[in-house]
Amino acid sequence: MRSTLSPHAPSKNPLFIHYKCKSITMNVELSRVLYIDLSKKSISIEDRSDLFDAYIGGTGVAIKLLAEECPEGVDPLSGANPIILAVGTISALYPAASKTVAMFKSPLTSNLGESHCGGRSAIAIRLAGYGAIVIRGKSDIPVYLAIHGDDVRFKDASSIWGVDSETVGRILREVEPGAGMRTIIRIGRAGERLVRYACAVSETYRHFGRLGLGAVMGAKRLKALVISADKSVEIPGDTRKAYKSVYDEIQDLVVKTDAMEKYHDLGTSGKIYSLAKLGGMTYKNLESGSPPDELARELSGENFAEKLLARRVSCAHCPVGCIHLASLRELYEPGYYFKTTTIPYDNEPIYATGFMLGMNKPEDCLRLIDVIDRIGMDVISTGVILAWATEAYARGLITDEHTDGVELRWGDVHGYCEAIKRIVSMPTDFYRALARGVEYASGVYGGQDYALAFGGNEMPEYHTGIACYVNNLVGARHSHLDSAGYDLDQKLIGKKVSIEDIVSSLLSEEEWRQVLSSLVVCFFARKVYSPEVTVKALNALGLERKWTEEDLKALGREIHRAKMNFKFREGFDIAKLRIPKRILEVPTPNGMLKEEDLRHALAIYEEKIRS
Ligand code: SF4
């Protein structure tokens, strides 16, 4: 069904348009989509139960909305590129179903942009009354959106344009209502300046990190969204008992088993030391997969926790508390004057700022993470781009003239901070190229053999074997989270498995993850939300449709194909994927990689998804 609920007529002042929609009772089924047009400063709300009933929310609904809304071949940095935010059928209803999916055309890869973020985003969107929010058009002046339940306002953001992401959060926390059940999604300077891997930050410590949502927001002159909740979900009376029983079962799996324990203890950085010892950690632009032991200990999760961990926080409606916050105490004036900064750290940021850039101390990683966060860039992309630039500088491919006098040297935190600022201010053509990603920059300046991007997206840390690279090359988001190839590689060490079987495993993992990201479950809870538990969770809500494991698996496959079709429509070509020579020159824990094996795997993958 596709019907429009009419908002009240807009006021004449385009900066303070205020819509008051009819109040609604929230039932357990998601249906409402809020459409916002930044060009016209108008909104509409439509009943899209047609999409939510069939695709259960999140990724499934978002890819359908993206296909409807995004014109073929559109410039990702034009107003015509839509932003879709979507939550899932179990968001706000079960533990660890705490993520929001953002979908858009990526300005980095020019095809599918998809990013997931926790914080309070999912709870706020759902309990504001929406299953999805679609943002169209481009504002004539900087604006932020204030969505308080059914109140939607366009507000002048001129005074906060140019302000870093953390300060924007502080200001909006003061001026907007709804504390506690509110999300504030905003961009920093990088998004405003259209750095193609700019991120959007939510609740200070969470991010829509990858593929450039921040740049798409910047192109729309949308500085932030404040969304606050004013509703609750009614579980039908006859299913409340079943719901409570499944809820308790999931809660117990989360807090009383070891399924998610490691995420609370050391967090994802707990695996850093073992990965480095295994020889699967990308070090100094993959000069090696085995950083020195002393360095691996210094940058390990254990050392971060012992020296710097201040506290852990959680996304809303998740008891795990996997977000690790370090406290960095620094002298800022001679004498006993200190400032203490709270900085989130995690496996990927430590890889990107630490191992990739040859940093020797956790404190220096934190300094870089803080600068990158405030400026609003994806930390993985930033680290990989700077690592390529450092190697290109050492080889004489780029000079001080290109770098505006900044010396790029392994482990030089000051130089990297200066370079990061220049990626945003763009004083030279070289920095303008860096702002477009390493695929582009290496295409202009050379050094493609060691430009570590796959499908246009900068690589995550893993150099574990063939599975991680097949994942990076053809995963729909070119993210290690598409199918966790790095995990499969580690399970395959010492075993002989055919390339066909590896591709099949990756594909079935990626298909199942479409179900989780449609519901939208945090991938850290994937062991909790097995197919059996997921079916129970859905069916205990009293939905009209009763789901089976087979239904969900078929749905995952359908959603995955829809995402790939969007990529193909936008020009993604598996046969033309660039494989950087560097990954073939450094041994993995599974031995040396061969290009013909990777190409063979890609051909099998393409055949499977097109059949
Ligand atoms: S496990 Fe961590 S990232 Fe996932 S929902 Fe919980 S707190 Fe958020």
535-577 residue pLDDT tens: 999 999 999 999 999 999 999 999 999 999 999 999 999 999 9
pLDDT in tens, 385-401: 999 999 999 999 999 99
Total Cβ atoms within 10 A of residue 333: 8
CATH topology of domain 464-526+548-610: 1.10.599
By the 8 A CB rule, do 27 and 233 touch? yes
At 116, give phi and psi (nearest 5°).
-120, 140
Pocket of ligand 1, beta carbon within 6 A? 96, 98, 118, 263, 314-315, 318, 320, 322-323, 522, 524
Q: Say what the pLDDT of residue 249 is.
A: 97
pLDDT in tens, 231-247: 999 999 899 999 999 99
Average pLDDT of the residues in 187-205: 96
Please choose from 120, 202, 264, 314 the residue to mutate so as to test ligand 1's pocket, defined by most ligand atoms within 8 A of CB.
314
At 115, give phi and psi (nearest 5°).
-145, 145
Q: Say what the pLDDT of residue 25 is.
A: 61
Report the range of poorest mean pLDDT among 18-27, 356-365, 515-524. Answer: 18-27
At 546, give phi and psi (nearest 5°).
-95, 125
In this structure, is the dihedral angle defined by the CA atoms of residues 332, 335, 337 and 340, taken in order, positive or negative? positive
The domain 3-228 is placed in CATH, from the list 3.90.1580.10, 3.40.190.10, 3.60.9.10, 3.30.360.10, at 3.60.9.10
pTM of the model: 0.95
88: closest CA among 113, 44, 121, 46?
Answer: 121
Q: Say what the pLDDT of residue 204 is.
A: 85
By the 8 A CB rule, do 551 and 512 touch? no
Peptide bond into 371 cis (omega under 30): no
* Rounded distance from Cα 320 to ligand 1 centre (Å): 6
Please choose from 268, 320, 526, 527 the residue to mutate so as to test ligand 1's pocket, defined by most ligand atoms within 8 A of CB.
320
How much of the chain, in percent, has pLDDT values that exceed 70? 96
Classify strands 32-37 and 132-136 as parallel, antiparallel or unpaired. Answer: parallel
Confidence of residue 601 (pLDDT cuts 50, 70, 90): very high
Classify strands 143-148 and 222-228 as parallel, antiparallel or unpaired. Answer: parallel
> How far, in Å, CA of 37 to CA of 316, rounded?
29
- The full DSSP string for 199-219 is -EEETTTEEE-SS-HHHHHHH
CATH number of this structure's domain 260-457: 1.10.569.10
Classify strands 83-86 and 132-136 as parallel, antiparallel or unpaired. Answer: antiparallel
Ligand 1 atom at shortest distance from the alpha carbon of 96: 5
Please choose from 263, 268, 346, 529 the residue to mutate so as to test ligand 1's pocket, defined by most ligand atoms within 8 A of CB.
263
Q: How far is CA 83 from CA 36, 67, 136, 175, 559, in A?
A: 10, 12, 7, 25, 18
* Rounded distance from Cα 164 to ligand 1 centre (Å): 25
Q: How far is CA 421 from CA 188, 417, 441, 452, in A?
A: 12, 6, 17, 22
Ordered by start, the domain boundaries in the chain are: 3-228, 260-457, 464-526+548-610
How is residue 352 annotated by DSSP? I
pLDDT in tens, 493-535: 999 999 999 999 999 999 999 999 999 999 999 999 999 999 9
Q: Which residues make Cβ contacts (< 8 Å) with residue 431, sequence separation at least 6?
A: 404, 419, 422, 423, 425
